Structure 1
Amino acid sequence: MSENTADPRHAHREEGFPSQHQDQPGHTDETMPKPDHGEESYVGHGRLEGRRALITGGDSGIGRAAAIAFAREGADVAIVHLPEEQADADETVGLIREAGRNGISLAGDIRDETFAADIVFETRKALGGLDVLVLNAGYQHDIDGIENLRTERMRRVFETNLLSQLFTTRAAMPDLEPGASIIVTASIQAFNPSPGLLDYAMTKAAQVAFVKALAEEAGPRGVRVNAVAPGPIWTPLIPATGWDAERLKTFGSDTPLGRAGQPAELAGAYVYLASTESSYVSGSVLAVTGGKPL
């Protein structure tokens, strides 16, 4: 095997994860082990030079990995996060600025219609425009049977994963110029739903429909719309989902590669969909699932 070829089965942590619990939304410094966002490994090559990006849920997990990669590829980046995630957001903005790019954080709850629209205007004001919109923020929780599905938690899933995306996209679309890219973080759950994530899986399936329909509308304007569908990825959302010790111990072990993925392993997918390398790709769902089929 070439020294530059890594065996994907062993590229990251192979064993399961220790028992732990967090309240939503989850925090990086409480997640054991700390997820790999590409802080030490991602090397940019100028593929997004001069672009301006907005990433919801950009403080940690997949959103942070995308933010680091975008900045190191030459983009200025605004991230959106809940107020209680400010510490994670500050760390992410620091990494963006270390890459020599402009980085800002916008604190608020994207379930609020006004805030979800304002982040578009604040990004354009701070960065001078908007070229890449990454709709990544999400919420999930474990359900022990549909009879135990609590209405308030179900509403939070729908409002976070669906309504907020509509609010933000509606605000962004009128001024997106040809060459702009919208990227949605969907999930393997859209295609292979788990009963314990029933309402979450419903929203992810709806996101795929959103991507396909919006790609039809936006294509004639030169705006591309795509999704990334992650499989089991180790982020602060996982210990905040409510799973027991056995579920965490086996998290990701059912993939063909035999392990969970790390946020850093998705960064390239977002860079590809944001860059001109994917200029003929729209209405697509890119799987990053450790080999699990969609």
Structure 2
Amino acid sequence: MVSAVAQLLRQGLPVTSATAPPVLLDLRGVVARAVDPADTASRTAALNGTLRGLLARFPDARLAPAARALFGLLPAGPGLNLTARRDVAAEQVGHEVHHFRKRVEPRLVEKIAWELLADADRFTRTPMIAPRLAPVTVRQPVPADPFAWEVTEHEEQLTRLWSALYAARAELLAVERLVSLRANRIDLIHAAVTAAWRWALARAEAIDYTTAYRAEAGTSVDVLIALTGWTPRLAEAQASRLTEAAVGGASREQFVHALHHETGLGNAWVDGLLDQEPRATAIHENGPTQ
């Protein structure tokens, strides 16, 4: 795996179908993201997206700019050869180029390889994958038949589940982006509350789906909701309280109103999500309650 990632350095990103090592194209996380898993070009596009995502979230903040530059992303410019990219990468961490190539570069390549394997492992352990959508150009009426009704209802609920999971994922990503931008606390709280609402809606959908289709789901509510991304650790009672406030497809305003006086829950979610010291923060729209 390390040698396969090292091969990518010669050309950098984006990877092409001609230069993509087969072992990387066969990774579970890459195959799962490909629009057409049987098509090499589709898997190559998925590999590029996966690598860009991993480099964007490189876990070592000090080495992250160097890792991105080495693979041809900013702060390196497009079209640079490996020697030029290596110069930029070494400059980012304040090392002489020879030292960087011998000591730092192998660590970066090894870390990317490890992250790709970890990504593949997460997909391997996920029993459910979001259904792919295909263009529909003509109406497909549902026959007046009990079996057709059951199949359609299952597809409907499955679609609602994944819609809710992706919506929650989007809001959690928005929070992480605002935290990185060091946005003001009012904007951060607003985003965190929106994320709580979407997360609670997703959890409610996950409960409904796993209850109605236990055999098809083959997994638990906790596993499904974990697909939305990292969230602060909540007690079971706290998670249930958030979910209760969102049951029935509650609007954001209804959700906020239902939890207006839940100061302890606000502390656990908002400050936990924003990675700040706990303070008295009920879930409402007027900022923290000191």
Which TM-score applies when normalising by structure 2? 0.25
Q: Of the two, which has the highest radius of gyration?
A: 2
Instruction: Report the structure, 1 or 2, having the larger strand content.
Output: 1
Instruction: Give the TM-score taking structure 1 as reference length.
Output: 0.25
Higher-helix-fraction structure: 2
